[in-house]
Amino acid sequence: MKRRIDKVNTSFSPNLWVKGKNIKVSIGASIKGKRIKMPGVSDLRDWDNILLSRYAPEYYVVCDKCSLCTLGPCDLSKGRRGACGIDSKTQQSRFSLLLCVLGASTHTAHARDVVNRVIEKYGKYTRIDMGQDIDIDMPLFRLIIGKKPKDMRSLLKGLEYIERELNSLVSSLSFGQESSNMDFESKLLHSGMLDSLGMEIADVAQLSALGFPKADPESPLVEIGFGTADTSKPVILCLGHNVCSGVEIIDYVAESDSKVEVVGICCTAHDLARYSANTTKIIGPLSNQLPYVRSGIADVIVLDEQCIRVDTLENAKTIGIPVITTSDKNIGSLPDLSDEDINYVVKKLVGKEIPGAYIPDLDKVGEIAVKTAVGVHMNKTRTPVQKKSYLPEIRKCRALNRTGKGLCSKACPVGLDVSKTLELIQDGMIREAKEVIRKCIFCGRCESHCPEKIPVTQIFSQVIADDLLNQKGFIRSGRGPVSDVEVRKVGRPIVFGEIPGIILFAGCPNYPDGKDGLIEMAEVFLNRKYIVAASGCSALDLALSDRDLYKKYPGDFDAGCLVNTGSCVSNSHILDAAIKVAAIFAKRPLEGNYEEVADYILNRVGAVAVVWGAMSQKAHSIVAGANRLGIPAILGSQGKKYRRSLISNKETRWSVYDTRSGEECEVGPVPEHLYYVAGTKEDAITMVPKLCMRASDGVKGRQIKIAHYLDLYEKYYGRLPDDFHRFIRTKADIPLTYRSRLSAILDEMDWKPVKKIPDPTLLDQKKR
For residues 126 and 181, membership in a common domain is answered with yes
Cα–Cα dist 702/708, whole Å: 10
Identify whether 272 is part of a domain: yes
For residues 64 and 169, membership in a common domain is answered with yes
Q: Taking 50 as the threshold, does the pLDDT of residue 384 lie above it? A: no
Residue bearing the bigger pLDDT, 462 or 299: 299
For residues 119 and 266, membership in a common domain is answered with no
Cα–Cα dist 400/717, whole Å: 41
Shortest CA distance to 409 belongs to which of 456, 339, 348, 471? Answer: 456
For residues 506 and 652, membership in a common domain is answered with yes
Q: Taking 80 as the threshold, does the pLDDT of residue 87 lie above it? A: yes
Identify whether 63 is part of a domain: yes
What pLDDT score was predicted for residue 768? 65
- CATH of residue 242's domain is 3.40.50.2030
What pLDDT score was predicted for residue 7? 35
Cα–Cα dist 748/432, whole Å: 50
For residues 662 and 547, membership in a common domain is answered with yes
Q: Using an 8 Å Cβ cutoff, are 253 and 280 in contact?
A: no
* Contact partners, residue 552, CB within 8 Å, separation at least 6: none
Phi, psi for 373 (deg, rounded to 5): -60, -40
Tell me the pLDDT band of 381, cut-offs 50, 70 and 90.
low
Q: Is 444 left (phi over 0), alpha (psi -120 to 50) or beta?
A: left
Tell me the pLDDT band of 18, cut-offs 50, 70 and 90.
very low
Q: Taking 70 as the threshold, does the pLDDT of residue 30 lie above it? A: no
Cα–Cα dist 454/422, whole Å: 10
For residues 231 and 89, membership in a common domain is answered with no
Tell me the pLDDT band of 246, cut-offs 50, 70 and 90.
very high
For residues 685 and 542, membership in a common domain is answered with yes
DSSP helix/strand/coil, 673: strand
The count of domains in the chain is: 4
Tell me the pLDDT band of 386, cut-offs 50, 70 and 90.
very low
Instruction: Please state which of the ranges 162-166, 256-260, 441-445 shows the lowest mean pLDDT.
Output: 441-445
Can you give the residue range of the structural domain that contains 403? 393-449
Tell me the pLDDT band of 34, cut-offs 50, 70 and 90.
low
Q: Taking 90 as the threshold, does the pLDDT of residue 27 lie above it? A: no
* Contact partners, residue 662, CB within 8 Å, separation at least 6: 767, 768
Q: Taking 50 as the threshold, does the pLDDT of residue 515 lie above it? A: yes
For residues 403 and 348, membership in a common domain is answered with no
Give, in order, the Cα–Cα distances in Å from 275 to each of 206, 207, 222, 243, 494.
9, 9, 11, 9, 32
Residue bearing the bigger pLDDT, 391 or 524: 524
What pLDDT score was predicted for residue 446? 87
* Most confident stretch, 12-26, 456-470, 725-739: 725-739
Identify whether 751 is part of a domain: yes
Q: Taking 90 as the threshold, does the pLDDT of residue 458 lie above it? A: no
* Most confident stretch, 99-108, 538-547, 759-768: 99-108
Q: Taking 90 as the threshold, does the pLDDT of residue 447 lie above it? A: no
What pLDDT score was predicted for residue 753? 93
What pLDDT score was predicted for residue 466? 77
SS (H, E, C) 367-409: HHHHHHHHHHHHHHHCCCCHHHHHCCCHHHHHHCCHHHCCHHH
* Contact partners, residue 660, CB within 8 Å, separation at least 6: 758, 759, 768
| pLDDT tens-digit series, residues 301-359 | 999 999 999 999 999 998 899 999 999 999 999 999 999 999 999 999 999 999 999 99
What pLDDT score was predicted for residue 9? 35
